[in-house]
Amino acid sequence: MNMTAAQVAVKILEEQGTKVIFGIPGGQTLFFNNALNESSIRFVATRHEGGAGHAADGWGRLTGKPGVCLATTGPGATNMVTPLGGALRDSTPVIAMLFQNKLPDVGRGDAQDANHEAIFSSLVKAFIPVRHVGALPWAMREAYRIAMSGRPGPVVLDFYRDVIESLSINCPYEPMDPASYCTTPNALPAPAALAKAAQILSAAKHVCILSGNGVKMSKSGDKVLAIAERLSAPVVTSFNGIGSVPVDHDLVLGARSRHGSTLTRAALEEADCVFVLGSSLSAVGTNRWSLDLKNIVQIDFDTKNLGRQYPVSCALAGELSLTLDALASLIKVPDAALKKERSTWLQQKKEARVVWREKIFSGPWNDEKASPAAPVAVIRAIDGQVDPNGIICIDAGNPGCWSHLLTVKKGMSYMKPVNYGNMGFSVTAGLACSLAEPDREVVSIVGDGSLGMSLAELETLARCGARQIVVVLNDSAFGNIRQEERYKFGGNVVYSGVDLSPVDYAGVARLLGMGGETVTRAAQIPAAFANARKHEGPYLIDVVFDGSFTIWPEAF
């Protein structure tokens, strides 16, 4: 049976395990969208291509498999630039399918004509044009392979309209197992490097472990904690590493972010050895590389990350989980004196954690009865409501800054656009999570600034019946920027472009088909969550939020 190239493309997506594609159809995509009707793949039309890209990013972060999104040429494609930049910077596998005009017309000024390669190349792992039908199967499998291999990331497939609409006579579909063209080598560092790392770790008096996104992606949290127990070492997570180890574990001090905390900074800087696991040591978690980190032992699958931001005493290039297994057997049991030295320092860090928590979870910013709602009280109230198996999707800006106070326990998932800081992420990323794992409850936490960039996607949530609670921290401002202006220019200035009009977001949500309510105090949040769970479909809780509390320069 003759098929169109579009039908072949759909068959290959099915073989790769694609369940959902997010996007906005157009003339160039018609043959492909029509082919989806005969497949097992669900197409979800978002209200903006940026929403489709963020959904694909959320899918990739949660499942570890490529999230797939599509857009038409020109303005459709350019609307997808930002989420792909976020996926690249945070190492998420995404395949973006763009649909160009016909090959003979490209560059001649046809409607919506655009040079996609020039636009996307700096923000994706690879850009693959599909100019001939015979190249289509290879191109699609190559996109999957690149997105998944090494450090994951986004790949653009650029299909020309006359190619995707042609008959498949020159590329008949023959199924392939993705494992035959995409494998992850079980690579271990060289024995000499493992021996050197074990020697450094065995001799160090005060080891602090920095657990990054690589730990989360490799699901190595239990192995990290086993090493921490062996070394009597406190564990700090990067911002992207939140959720890599459970925050409520006795050895975990919490996250190091751009705006905190003093507790985790002290542990990292006092250590005479920092054991860096799957972290690129980006600007966000190191205050633009101002942290004083000494005697670093670093594990990363991507050799480009090793020693890139900080000099290292020992670099270990290998798969993280296997490398931890190999090191565990090489690290020596400390003698009595060293064991006492380590346990004493660890106990000091635990006591400091108690003092730090007493300070953070007290005072006006933790007043659950304050109106408008105080920030720490809001985070604590949400923290008490998140399902033990829940998925937390955080947006950029103020919600992200406060969110590291959440207790992300074992069994929970946490995601945030960290290194690109792309606003408008959490609503459709949460939608993707609810579709990928429908038995798990999703909580998206978003500021009103970011919600303004994704507001129409509330209709998408309602249409899809997502099991999702959207919590809006509404201070009628681009709050993070207003706080930074106050920090840098003082209180007696006219702030520029940061104040927004008050909006009834719960009312908007109801108009778009969701449930919703407004609360003005943190104490009202538990009841609002109860109402959300009684409601069929997604629900928005609009929290009138006190933006006068600042995270600048380091709130915690």
Give residue 1's pLDDT: 61
DSSP codes, 302-364:
SGGGTTSSS--SEEEES-HHHHHHHHHTTSPPP-HHHHHHHHHHHHHHHHHHHHHHHHHTSSG
- Band of pLDDT at residue 238, cut at 50, 70 and 90: very high
| Residue 378 predicted with pLDDT over 80 | yes
The yes-or-no verdict on residue 201 having pLDDT over 70 is yes
* pLDDT at residue 488, as a whole number: 83
Least confident span in 293-297, 464-468, 530-534: 464-468
User: Residue 199 pLDDT more than 80?
Assistant: yes
Supply the pLDDT for residue 400.
85
* Mean pLDDT computed over 428-447: 98
Average of per-residue pLDDT across 237-243: 94
Q: Strand 126-130 to strand 515-519: parallel, antiparallel, or no bridges (unpaired)?
A: unpaired
* Mean local confidence (pLDDT), 247-255: 96
- Strands (DSSP E) contained in 433-484 are 442-447, 468-474
pLDDT, tens digit (0-9, with 9 covering 90-100), for 276-323: 999 999 988 898 899 999 999 999 988 999 999 999 999 999 999 999
The mean pLDDT value for 477-494 works out to 81
Residue with tokens 């955080």: 394
Which residues are within 8 A (CB) of 298 and not within 5 positions of it... i.e. 6 or more apart? Answer: 276, 305, 306, 307, 312, 314, 315, 316
Q: Which residue has the higher pLDDT, 340 or 302?
A: 340
Question: Tokens 């001799």 correspond to what residue?
Answer: 203
Placement of tokens 């999702």 in the chain? 468
Task: Give me the pLDDT at residue 284, please.
Answer: 86
The pLDDT, as a whole number, for residue 487 is: 82
* Nearest residue to 514 via CA among 542, 487, 537, 482: 537
pLDDT, average across residues 207-225: 96
With cut-offs at 50, 70 and 90, classify the pLDDT of residue 259: confident
User: Which tens digit of pLDDT belongs to each residue from 386-418?
Assistant: 999 999 999 998 888 899 899 999 999 999 999
Cα separation, 163 vs 136, whole angstroms? 9
What does the buried/exposed string (b/e) look like for 366-378 if buried means 16 or more CB atoms within 10 Å of the residue's CB? bbbebebbbbbbb
**Residue 478 to residue 423: CA distance in whole angstroms:** 11
- Residues shown for the chain: 556
Please tell me which residue, 466 or 48, carries the higher pLDDT value.
48
State the average pLDDT for the chain: 94
Question: Edge-to-edge, what's the strand order for the sheet holding 539-544?
Answer: 413-415, 391-394, 442-447, 468-474, 539-544, 515-519
Q: How many CA atoms lie within 13 A of 418 on its CB side?
A: 29
Position 553 pLDDT exceeds 90: no
Residue 167 banded pLDDT, cuts 50, 70, 90? confident
- Chain-centroid distance of CA 470 in Å reads 17
DSSP H stretches of helix in 233-330: 262-270, 283-286, 320-328
Torsion 93-99-103-108 (CA) sign: negative
- Please state, in angstroms and as integers, the Cα–Cα distance from residue 499 to each residue in 421, 425, 448, 477, following that order: 20, 21, 11, 4
To which residue do tokens 């190492």 refer? 91
Which residue has 């570890």 as its token pair? 64
Sequence-distant (6+) residues with CB within 8 A of 552 are 259, 483, 484, 486, 487
Going from the C-alpha of 504 to that of each of 11, 259, 395, 540, 542, the distances in angstroms are 45, 30, 19, 11, 8
CA gap 277, 300 in Å, rounded = 7
Q: Is 413 helix (H, G, I), strand (E, B) or coil?
A: strand
What is residue 169's predicted lDDT score, i.e. its pLDDT? 80
- pLDDT, one tens digit per residue, over 261-278 is 899 999 999 999 999 999
**DSSP symbol at 41:** P
Place of tokens 């670099």: 315
Please report the domains of the chain, with CATH numbers, ordered by start residue: 5-180 (3.40.50.970), 191-353 (3.40.50.1220), 361-544 (3.40.50.970)
Q: What is the DSSP letter of 180?
A: G
Burial class (CB in 10 A: 0-12, 13-18, 19+), 474: buried
Nearest Cα neighbor of 196 from 292, 319, 294, 326 is: 326
Distance CA 44, CA 487 (A): 42
